[in-house]
Structure 1
Amino acid sequence: MQTDSATGSAEGLVVALDIGGTKIAGALVDGDGRILLRTRRATPAREDGETVMGAVEDVVATLAASPLWEAAGAVGIGSAGPVDAHRGTVSPVNVPGWRDYPLVDRVRRATGGRPVTLVGDGVAMTAAEHWLGAAKGHDNALCLVVSTGVGGGLVLGGRLHPGPTGNAGHIGHIAVDLDGDPCACGGRGCVERIASGPHLARRALENGWRPGPDGDTTAAAVAAAARAGDPAAVASFERAAQALAAGIAATAALVEIDIAVVGGGVAGAGEVLFAPLRRSLASYATLSFVRNLTVVPALTGTDAGLLGAAAAARSADVEGSWARRAS
């Protein structure tokens, strides 16, 4: 387990947990968004549910050993989904041992009865970007995570809008190709099926791109090839950008957002993604009330999950039945 600490104020301190298929991260975060203590361990994703929970409890125990622990008043969790924040359960696709797992109740017990707020990882990233990142100051925003999957969350009227179960804004499963390939969700032609890292790389390979001597077939390798001018790599990013633009424009037309913030590993491609994304968006977002929509990179980086979990824990007045808080 890796642990790091920093100095800062304990004012407004909360416990933040970021739970995904590869890592379980924990932190103590103050009211200004400074991470005063952090720790993480690998997710035993292929083990049974109790083994996975044991890893969460290990992370909590490391945080609880800090002198700052007693000052932490609440707990926020950003988890891979689907989540059901109303019931306090999670069923991450990439953690088979957790199906309708009562994560809120288990974390509440592990943290000495503190109130617990659960959100999906896309909503957590949105909360982080609205609090401290590129969506700060925007009352109506869509934030996207484009990585192994494509997730997202909404800010409407200046507040997070996660919906009744915590999954609102899940742009990855908007259908943008009516005759497209089947998606793992059961639908067809979803944004995720076109724009996620694995599918972006698959499309490049199918159309003639070949990896270098290292055999790297990730989206990052496709991005490097696109920068070098490989036509199949360029075309794959343009197709991904088109799918993202269609989903963003549809969302903007529905709820009138004025900014879309894009983070995640695929967004690390930079202008290889953002240049065609802006071009495509200009041809999809044409109505007067969405024409000025801007698209920008996320700013909170790899800390988005922890900062978003902390923001969720601090937001007791978030509108809607989206979080189960147990005291």
Structure 2
Amino acid sequence: MPQLPALAVDIGGTKIAAGMVEPGGRMAAVARVPTPQGPQIDAETLWRTVAAFLERFAAGGPAFAGVGVGCGGPMSWPAGRVSPLNIPAWRDFPLRERLQELFPTVPVRLHNDAICMAAGEHWRGAGRGSDNVLGIVVSTGVGGGLILGGHLVDGASGNAGHIGHVVVDPHGPPCGCGGQGCLEAIARGPAVAEWAREHGWRTRGHEDVTARELADDAARGHPTARDALDRAGNALGVAIASATHLCDLEVVSVGGGLSQAGPLLFDPLEETFRRHVGMRFARRVRVVPAALGQEAGLLGAGALVLAGDRYWNGD
């Protein structure tokens, strides 16, 4: 195991975060800047922002063993050419190559941000101590990562664990991926809020509905808000039951913004999950809230470097 820390990076549609992750999994320092947005932001402008931020951050810290990066997808993996749906300026952008040029003396390892979050939860969070874990992130999208036999499963193109596009309702709504009835089309935060609005829920004085407001109203007993979270929880329960039977899991951790709804989401999720798991091996699975919060992605990115024997197969 490396004795130096890892420089961990999390690049998202709203923020860019960096942290120094120590070999034991402690986060020694974290900094964040907003992700530049707007029609005037092109690929190189965004890259210059990322590069300048990381150079400043790295200059003020210790030497590090390598750079681990989580970024939205889709991407070409392990080459690390990214086309994040929430970062329109980057289409087939050679992010890993550029980062390797920026930090030429250490390895650079890059993966999908949801996969990094799952790796973080397995390494130091809700899945610690278990060898077979599915980590799910329910936010503006629904993503995931899969650990089997104690090792991250990449699949043929680095997209294994993409539970957001498991079909939970063959006659359900269209999904942004081009499919129909995907978990993401039903359970992602904006879709949950939009379903509630279409069924009569109204926010207080504006049309820009959010899942946070929906959860607040559900906690106050608003019936449509509760129905919307029930629907999302049911869809998650169906998807998790299917994944459990397919992969013989021990733990499923669920994080992301919508998970902050707590029992309003987890109660229908658990009830539906238990209704759909019949095999004895599947009934022993624990479905739990993710434990690491906003640090999961950075810790998982750090794990690509610090615990690469378990989480990195890209070289």
TM-score class, shorter-chain normalisation, is over 0.9
Determine the structure 1 residue equivalent to 2:127.
135
Deviation at 1:184, TM superposition (A): 0.5
Deviations 1:159-214 (A, max 9, x none): 11122332110110111111111111000000000000000001111111122357
Query: 5+ unaligned residues in a row in structure 1: which ranges?
Result: 1-9
Q: Which moved more, 1:171-180 or 1:308-317?
A: 308-317
In 1, Cα distance between equivalents of 2:197 and 2:9: 36
The answer to whether structure 1 residue 54 and structure 2 residue 48 are counterparts is yes
With normalisation by structure 2, the TM-score equals 0.95
Residue 98 to residue 215, structure 1, CA distance change in 2 (3 Å): closer
In structure 2, distance between residues paired with 1:86 and 1:299: 28
Do residues 165 (structure 1) and 183 (structure 2) align? no
Which residue is equivalent to 2:255? 263
Q: Look up the match of 1:124.
A: 116
Identity of aligned residues (%): 44
Q: SS state of the match for residue 19, structure 2?
A: strand
Q: Is the 8 A contact 1:164 1:320 kept in 2?
A: no
| Partners of 2:167 and 2:182 within 8 A in 1 | yes
Match of 1:199 among 187, 191, 201: 191
C-alpha contact (below 8 Å) 1:163/1:320 kept by paired residues: no
1:3 corresponding residue in structure 2: none
- Aligned residue identity for 1:211: T
Task: Provide the rounded CA distance (Å) in 1 between the counterparts of 2:247 and 2:28.
Answer: 37
Deviations 1:72-131 (A, max 9, x none): 011100111112222221110111221111111100111233211111011100111011
Give CA deviations for 1:239-288 in whole Å, capped at 9, x if unaligned: 10111111111111111112110000000111111111111111112222
Q: Once structures 1 and 2 are overlaid, which stretch shifts more, 106-115 or 175-184?
A: 106-115
Structure 2 residue aligned with 1:238: 230
Stretch deviating more after TM superposition (10-19 or 75-84): 10-19
Q: Partners of 1:182 and 1:280 in 2: how far apart? A: 22
The answer as to 2:106 corresponding to 1:100 is no
Cα distance per residue 1:44-93 (max 9 Å; x no partner): 2441111111121022111222241xx20111001111122222211101
Aligned CA-pair RMSD: 1.6
Number of the residue aligned with 1:77 = 69
Structure 2 unaligned blocks of 5 or more: none
SS at match of 1:32: coil
What is residue 7 of structure 1 aligned with on the other side? none
Farther off after superposition, 174-183 or 312-321: 312-321
TM-score normalised by the chain length of structure 1: 0.91
- Residues of 2 paired with 1:95 and 1:319: CA distance? 25
- Aligned-pair distance for 1:320? 7.5
